[in-house]
Amino acid sequence: MEITDVQAIPLAHSLPDGQGLGDARGFGTDRGTTLVRLETDDGAVGWGEAFAPGPMATATVETMFADDLIGMDPFEVESLAERSYTDPYHFGGDVVVQSAVSALDVACWDIIGQHVGRPVHRLLGGTHCEELTPYASTMYFTESDRPIEQPIREAVEEGFTAAKIKIGAGLESDVERVRTAREILGEDADLMVDMNGNYRPHQALESARAIEEFDVTWIEEPVPPENLSGYRELRKKIDTPIAAGEAHYGRFEFKELIDDRTVDIVQPNLGRCGGLSEARLIAGMASTENVAVRPHIWNSAVGLAAAVQFAASLSSYPHTRNVPEPMLIEFDRSENPLRSDLLESPFDPSGGSIDVPQEPGLGIEIDQDALERYRSD
Ligand SMILES: [Mg+2]
């Protein structure tokens, strides 16, 4: 089997003026991303996502990888990650290169799964897994004056039993938002907060202590992703687990997060971290330091599918059945047709669980009409 066609497909969707979504750093309206489609000589088609802007990711796939991919056996998938660090030398850790590798890697795993008739999570060594627990990513900062409790109420009505909310825009606002979310979710639900790296360590510490009474499951990116000394400082002073990883790329950056438990939870994004091959290495490193792995997902449905398969493959080490800890999977509740419209059978988080596709590969079918509707080239 060999790859005969490589396509990078940029997708874009923009929210209307005044409807931008935000985190503590500001508002955004662009939900663009890039899909990769690989085809083999036996007619198999594999999909992956580079969670990076179309023009950059497309150029990277086409100029750095496409020629060498033609004729490659998808079973040689791990050679992609190896090549990304050695050829193009000096560009290996670059976010766009890692995003391109992520897409190509996931597309190869999709094809391998189809070839052997197994879902990807089984190929990665996971046990049989039918469903995961989704958490609603919600309570974004908005440009409109929508009541802050409305989105978390909607998530509860949909059946979510866990949620992550945006904070990080000041102490008073943090406490108000966390208190509101906790009241609506109920006291047993997992509630996570995301500061999006908007604080200096002393500000994050002050906020973490102020919201401690609301029993937060993890605090995400309390300080900027580059500020590893800030993470180490906070971990010594905060009892709540700290999570990071959505802005880190490749095994070498994740090693820094994992070593000496700089954070308690790493969050590789399957469209940026280097793909399933790299994520598997990251999960292996994390297990040696007793660091948990919970994938970050703000992608299209293809990136979501890769993350679902990856999460379904993860070991629960060191937990036994006596210490239940659900494999929480992020499910963005903001408007994004690239997530909701791109598959023939979209993922459905209602009812508080999400089905893990059991069909071969990623187990997804792309809706070709939707693909054409949102492609931006
Ligand atoms: Mg985040």
How far away, in angstroms, is 79 Cα from ligand 1 center?
A: 30
How does pLDDT run across 79-111, given as a tens digit for each residue? 998 888 877 677 777 889 999 999 999 999 999
d(CA 55, CA 58): 5
Fill in the DSSP letter of residue 48: E
From residue 184, alpha-carbon distances to 32, 34, 163, 237, 289 in Å are 32, 36, 11, 29, 35
Catalytic site positions = 296
Ligand 1 centroid–CA 317 distance in Å is 24
> pLDDT tens-digit profile of 147-161?
899 999 999 999 999
Ligand 1 geometric centre to CA of 127 (Å): 28
Please state the pTM of the whole predicted model: 0.96
Going from the Cα of 246 to the center of ligand 1, the distance in angstroms, rounded, reads 6
Q: What is the pLDDT of residues 260-277, one digit of tens each?
A: 999 999 999 999 999 999
Domain 121-355 has CATH 3.20.20.120: yes
The alpha-helical segments, DSSP class H, found in 117-260 are 120-123, 149-158, 171-185, 201-211, 228-237, 250-258
- Residue 295: CB atoms within 10 Å: 30
Domain boundary assignment for the chain: 3-117, 121-355
Neighbours of 215 (CB within 10 A): 14
Q: CA separation (Å) from 332 to 164, 214, 349?
A: 9, 22, 10
Going residue by residue through the chain, which has 377 residues, state the pLDDT in tens, using 9 for 90 and above. 999 999 999 999 998 888 888 999 988 888 899 999 999 999 999 999 999 989 999 999 999 999 999 999 999 999 998 888 877 677 777 889 999 999 999 999 999 999 999 999 999 998 888 999 999 999 999 888 788 999 999 999 999 999 999 999 999 999 999 999 999 999 999 999 999 999 999 999 999 999 999 999 999 999 999 999 999 999 999 999 999 999 999 999 999 999 999 999 999 999 999 999 999 999 999 999 999 999 999 999 999 999 999 999 998 888 766 777 888 999 999 989 999 999 999 999 999 999 999 999 999 999 999 999 999 99
- Report CA(74)–ligand 1 centroid distance (Å): 32
Residue 135 Cα to ligand 1 middle (Å): 13
The hierarchical CATH code for the domain 3-117 is 3.30.390.10
Q: Quote the ligand 1 centre to 197 CA distance (angstroms).
A: 9
